[in-house]
């Protein structure tokens, strides 16, 4: 990011260059990454979506190295090529920043601000990932490095606090009664409403290889629930099964269908295994 901003300053007067014809390679890579990222996030595979973004960052770096803007800048006849390379690189960085807004909002907003677009709508959704939305001519705003390198020697040479020397402004986890960072209270747990649901209908969701569309009876009503278990469970194998439903989860729309809850499943080395019951349990029963 810092290197790209420096080149925009040196070669384009500190402004986003005009959009000109490019070889299209980075645009194609960004579009494919956005498509994969979107599918991963819609199916709650967030780690896969983020991995796609890191891969795109690597492609941006390789794109810059391949075209060598510092060499293009020395040849007046290559001015159009220079601007196309720098525009594509800056636009690809913008796409990465917008995609990071849900998970790294502060860093993403700083990235956008340095590109001259600090007012990007964080609720704009996938439309903001459309290629070509970075306006030409706007001024960049260089700032401190977003992810500065750590001096390894200085880091490991720094004194550390022993358990008895814990800073006064930090809780000492060794003291009795101090909650561990990964624990919750019973009040926290009671906010989650778990109910027994019986699967009465099941089908694959068109256009989504990993999603099943389920109709789940929870006693007082039927809920439409999408579950990313289609690769492990053919729809017919779930009919009549009693499952555990998070009944007060906010509805979420995926592939045009609103999912009204979440089915609980174990994660066995990346393979979901749906939680069920050994004995018959009435739909709607509370799970504690």
CATH of domain 2-129: 1.10.730.10
Total Cβ atoms within 10 A of residue 15: 15
- State the average pLDDT over residues 84-109: 92
The pLDDT score that the predictor gives to residue 59 is: 94
Q: Which residues make up the CATH 1.10.730.10 domain(s) of the chain?
A: 2-129
Distance in angstroms (rounded) separating the CA atoms of residues 75 and 133: 28
How does pLDDT run across 184-241, given as a tens digit for each residue? 788 778 888 999 999 999 999 888 888 999 999 999 999 999 998 988 888 898 998 9
Terminal-residue alpha carbon distance, the chain: 49
pLDDT band at 88 (very low <50, low <70, confident <90, very high): very high
35's tokens: 């498509």
The pLDDT score that the predictor gives to residue 125 is: 63
CATH among 2.40.50.140, 1.25.60.10, 3.30.70.20, 3.90.1640.10 for 189-287: 2.40.50.140
- State the average pLDDT over residues 160-183: 49
13's tokens: 């007067």
Closest listed residue to residue 134, CA positions, set 286, 26, 53? 26
Distance in angstroms (rounded) separating the CA atoms of residues 115 and 15: 9
The pLDDT score that the predictor gives to residue 119 is: 59
Highest mean pLDDT among 104-108, 156-160, 242-246: 242-246
Average pLDDT, the chain: 83
Q: Are 45 and 108 in contact (CB under 8 A)?
A: no
């Amino acid at each position: 990011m810092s290197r790209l901003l420096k080149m925009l300053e040196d070669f384009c007067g500190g402004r986003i260059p005009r959009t000109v014809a490019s070889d299209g390679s980075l645009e194609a890579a960004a579009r494919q990454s956005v498509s994969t990222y979107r599918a991963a996030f819609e199916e709650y595979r967030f780690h896969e979506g983020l991995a796609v973004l890191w891969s795109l960052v690597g492609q941006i770096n390789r794109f810059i190295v391949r075209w060598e803007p510092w060499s293009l800048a020395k040849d007046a006849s290559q001015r159009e090529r220079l601007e196309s390379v720098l525009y594509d690189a800056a636009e690809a960085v913008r796409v990465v920043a917008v995609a990071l807004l849900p998970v790294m909002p502060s860093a993403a907003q700083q990235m956008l601000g340095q590109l001259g677009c600090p007012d990007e709508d964080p609720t704009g959704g996938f439309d903001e990932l459309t290629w070509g939305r970075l306006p030409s001519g706007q001024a960049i705003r260089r700032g401190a490095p977003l992810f500065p390198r750590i001096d390894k020697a200085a880091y490991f040479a720094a004194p550390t606090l022993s358990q008895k020397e814990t800073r006064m402004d930090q809780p000492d986890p060794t003291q009795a009664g101090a909650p561990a960072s990964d624990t919750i209270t019973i009040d926290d747990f009671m906010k989650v409403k778990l109910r027994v649901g019986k699967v009465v209908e099941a089908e694959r969701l068109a256009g989504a290889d990993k999603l099943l569309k389920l109709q789940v009876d929870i006693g007082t009503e039927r809920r439409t629930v999408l579950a990313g278990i289609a690769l492990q469970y053919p729809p017919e194998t779930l009919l009549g099964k009693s499952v555990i439903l998070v009944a007060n989860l906010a509805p979420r729309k995926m592939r045009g269908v609103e999912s009204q809850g979440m089915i609980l499943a174990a994660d066995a080395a990346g393979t979901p295994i749906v939680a069920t019951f050994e004995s018959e349990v009435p739909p709607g029963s509370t799970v504690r």
